[in-house]
Amino acid sequence: MKKTLILSTALAGLAFGASAQEITVMSWGGAYTKSQVEAYHKPFTEKTGIKVISVDADNPATPIKAQVEAGNVSIDVADVELSDAVRLCDEGLIYPIDAAALPAAPDGTPATEDFIDGALYDCAVASIFWSTVYAYDDSKFPGEKPTTIEDFFDTAKFPGKRGLRRGAKANFEMALMADGVPAEEVYDVLKTPEGVDRALAKLGTIKSDIIWWEAGAQPPQLLADGEVLMTTAYNGRIFNAAAAENKPFVVVWDGQILDLDLFVIPKGAPNKEAALEFIKFSTDTQRLADQAKWISYGPARKSSGPLVGLFNDGKTEMAPHMPTAPANMENALLNDFEFWADYDVELSEKFNAWVAAN
Amino acid sequence: MADIADTGMASAPARAETLKTADGTPLKAALAHAAKRARRRAFLLVAPLLAFVVLTFVAPIGQMLYRSVANDGFSANMPNLVRWFAENPETEPDESAYAALAADLALAAEARTIGVVGTRINYDVSGTRSLFTSAGRRAARLEAPYREALLDLDEEWGSPALWSAMRAASAAHTPNFYIAALDRQVDPEEGIVSVPEDQRIYVPLFWRTMMISAVIAGICLLLGFPVAHLLATLPMRLSNLLMILVLLPFWTSLLVRTTSWMVLLQSEGVVNDVLVSFGIVADDARIQMMYNQAGTIIAMTHILLPFMILPLYSVMRTIPPSYVRAARSLGANNWTAFWRVYVPQTVPGIGAGVLLVFILAVGYYITPALVGGSSGQLFSNMIAFHMTRSLNWSMAAALAALLLGAILLLYWLYDRLIGIDNMKFG
């Protein structure tokens, strides 16, 4: 009797699990996850009845690799950086996604043409452009304010601590740009050993003032605590701290490094069909434009651009805060994913050795 | 048990025949049978624990150790080339080698494993990952002669370093990760050599980790000894109250304690604010107590202090106060009585505490990651880096194995110098 009871409860549980469908979406946490929950997850559940569980990681590419290799995948959709998306795809850790199946723009332009060049890959669909910029607390600068990437590395002109993401990516490029290398030549220079030494030498000029951060939510915190005078950061995090929490933070766009975030489906995802539905839904024109209501990241579809309006406070115009705004693009660098796929190991090693050396 | 029973049986077979039990079986056999049953029952009793230890401890560590020498990313996905290497030892790559390479590239691209192959070679020859992925994209269209076709794609395909790396990777097992973990590299001509000074990282970090851990264990001993002594000698009621003060932080989450230290130590934090308000330091010259070695040492000392106090306390409780009194009455002064009579009796506790704190400190990673900045990073942070950032798990496994080896070595040294049975954990 007892056994049948247990069995029937278990069966009922199974049946329940099958009818009330849910998917797990992994992202980067903080204001960014919140923007996705508001713009994608909630409307998706409303429309389809499929519940969306949101989980976060410092970099979702890592748990994907771990889960797929262990054969125990719990994530259905993950949000990853471009170089990671390409790498995961090459290593067969994520499913191919047919770009032609994505919804067309409202005017009928097929998705393959509507997405900005370089936003669609074999296994990944881009949602936003984001960028690594540097930012400062305006209240700490009564006089002259930093305006260029050189100023970030100039501790004689602006003495104080600097926050940087612990890792080679973005730091090497910014150091070279601050050292006078034009944006379009950065990766060519960085391919040579002399270029790497040059970047490290430039970073070395501020080494004793660097405070390293790892999670995207840290830089606004470091600025707010007064722990650093300036810090590199993901532009959306700084914008949200400024717009939603009224922090006097200012973004310096000179020398920004643009990157994409893309949706991928890990191989062996428990709800592959629903995951694909979620990606199709979330990357349509309106949804991408909606996300900009919550964070200042640029939509990956051309047709979303004109739909971007005000921040959710109802007064801040979003367009000038987008990394892709023409005024912000004057000295911008597009992250070269092939370069990083190739040189990540070598440069990370050099970077780690440099950090560890006193 | 087994030995005694067996040798007994072997040495006296004659007598065994004369002594019999009630049902006629030889006594020796009956005894052995009974002993065997008892052993089996005892084994069954510990079997759950044994299974648990094997499943959760021995197997994962074994798997980790295996991963540190095994990486079949290349060998499993490039069958033709692996065969060519096996059939042609010591020969320069010829057209048939290039044909095998082209066939494998197409195969791996089709199976979406080309990235795995490229990543494996990229560990040894950096900058080659995209060589594989971009060639993979075009491999299906390659035509004979393959050597020229591949060199047309990229001249790098002719590089001897690349071919020697591929030959090395065609075996699924490699010592390369250990070589790299010791800041060495394989030079085609000179064998194993040290990497240039500015690229050495693991060995200096290893010594730094040992040094910081020793400093933390030392500070913990200095701070913990008087506290443990106080706890052991105060009346029960008071000492229980004090004990709660020791245990409360011990029971608090590690992350909570680390982040509390961040609040206290940061440059706009509580400690600096107090110092500034008392005029001890100037407002624009606040002390940097975090994001450096000092931060790691302060936070870890606090977190590990209970591991020093508890074993010390349990040993000190058992030391009768009459010994020190006797020493005093025989003319020893305070210091002599303490140093010559009391301290030697606490050695088992000191040994246990220092070893415990040191070993825990060597493996710490969350606290240094949060408050350590760059100078306060420990060896484990490098393991974490390879686990979570570079995704080079073989390298992480090799580093972890080195750390494990170092701890076992220390444990052995401790056993030789002081004796493991002379240690009291509580």
Tell me which residue has tokens 């099958």: A18
Span of A176-190, A195-209, A273-287, B132-146 with lowest mean pLDDT: B132-146
Could you please report the per-residue DSSP string of A96-148? ---GGGSPPPTTS--HHHHBPTT-B-SS-EEEEEEEEEEEEEGGG-SS----S
| Among candidates B128, B204, B266 on the partner chain, residue whose Cβ is nearest the Cβ of A356 | B204
Residues of A in contact with B127 (CB under 8 A): 191, 342-343, 346
**CB neighbour class for B345 (10 Å; exposed up to 12, middle 13-18, buried from 19):** middle
Predicted complex ipTM exceeds 0.90: no
| Among candidates A62, A167, A354 on the partner chain, residue whose Cβ is nearest the Cβ of B391 | A62
Neighbours of B24 (CB within 10 A): 7
Closest CA of chain A from B413, distance in Å? 29
Q: CB under 8 Å to A312, separation ≥6 — which residues?
A: A38, A293, A294
Q: Using an 8 Å Cβ cutoff, are A202 and A175 in contact?
A: yes
Beta strands in B114-201, from DSSP E residues, in sequence order: 184-187, 191-194
User: Residue B393 corresponds to which tokens in the numbers above?
Assistant: 């798990």
State whether A356 and B112 contact (CB < 8 Å).
no
Residues of B in contact with A356 (CB under 8 A): 201, 204-205, 208, 374, 377
Residues of A in contact with B118 (CB under 8 A): 90
Rounded to 10 degrees, the C-alpha dihedral B150/B156/B158/B162 comes to -120
Give start and end residues of each alpha helix (H) in B170-253: 176-181, 202-233, 236-251
The fraction of chain B above a pLDDT of 90, given in percent, is: 39
Query: Is A131-259+329-356 CATH 3.40.190.10?
Result: yes
| pLDDT, averaged across chain A | 88
Tell me which residue has tokens 């190739």: A342
Mean predicted confidence (pLDDT) in A323-342? 87
Mean predicted confidence (pLDDT) in A323-338? 88
Q: CB under 8 Å to A27, separation ≥6 — which residues?
A: A33, A36, A54, A55, A56, A57, A60, A78, A79
Residue B9 predicted with pLDDT over 70: no
Q: For chain A, what's the residue count?
A: 358
Span of A14-23, A227-236, B229-238 with lowest mean pLDDT: A14-23
Residues of A in contact with B111 (CB under 8 A): 92
CATH of A2-129+260-324 among 2.40.70.10, 3.40.50.150, 3.40.190.10, 2.40.30.200: 3.40.190.10
State whether B115 and A355 contact (CB < 8 Å).
no
Is the model more confident about B288 or about A128?
A128
User: Residue B426: its pLDDT value, please?
Assistant: 57
| Among candidates B115, B201, B377 on the partner chain, residue whose Cβ is nearest the Cβ of A91 | B115
| Among candidates B130, B198, B388 on the partner chain, residue whose Cβ is nearest the Cβ of A62 | B388
State whether A92 and B113 contact (CB < 8 Å).
yes
Domain A131-259+329-356 in the same topology as domain A2-129+260-324: yes
In chain A, domain spans: 2-129+260-324, 131-259+329-356
User: Residue B17: its pLDDT value, please?
Assistant: 55
Distance between CA A266 and CA A275 in Å, rounded? 10
Tell me which residue has tokens 């471009």: A82
State whether A352 and B201 contact (CB < 8 Å).
yes
A95-105 pLDDT, tens per residue? 999 988 899 98
Any idea what the Cα angle at residue B62 is, between residues B59 and B67, rounded to 5°?
A: 125
User: Residue A55 corresponds to which tokens in the numbers above?
Assistant: 């989980």
Residue A10 predicted with pLDDT over 60: no
State whether B198 and A357 contact (CB < 8 Å).
yes
Q: Give how far the C-alpha of residue A181 lies from the chain's centroid of Cα atoms, to the nearest Å.
A: 25
A170-218 pLDDT, tens per residue? 999 999 999 999 999 999 999 998 999 999 999 999 998 999 998 888 9
User: Residue B368 corresponds to which tokens in the numbers above?
Assistant: 């240094």
User: Residue B424: its pLDDT value, please?
Assistant: 65
User: Residue B423: its pLDDT value, please?
Assistant: 66
Mean predicted confidence (pLDDT) in A222-237? 92
Residue B1 predicted with pLDDT over 50: no
User: Residue A8: its pLDDT value, please?
Assistant: 46
Residue of A nearest to B206 (CA): A356
Residue A147 predicted with pLDDT over 90: yes
Interface residues of A toward B, Cβ cutoff 8 Å, are 58-59, 61-62, 65, 87-92, 161, 167, 191, 210-212, 214, 225-227, 338, 341-346, 348-350, 352-358
Q: Give how far the C-alpha of residue B141 lies from the chain's centroid of Cα atoms, to the nearest Å.
A: 48
Q: CB under 8 Å to B265, separation ≥6 — which residues?
A: B271, B272, B289, B290, B295, B298, B299, B371
Neighbours of A336 (CB within 10 A): 18
Mean predicted confidence (pLDDT) in B230-245? 90
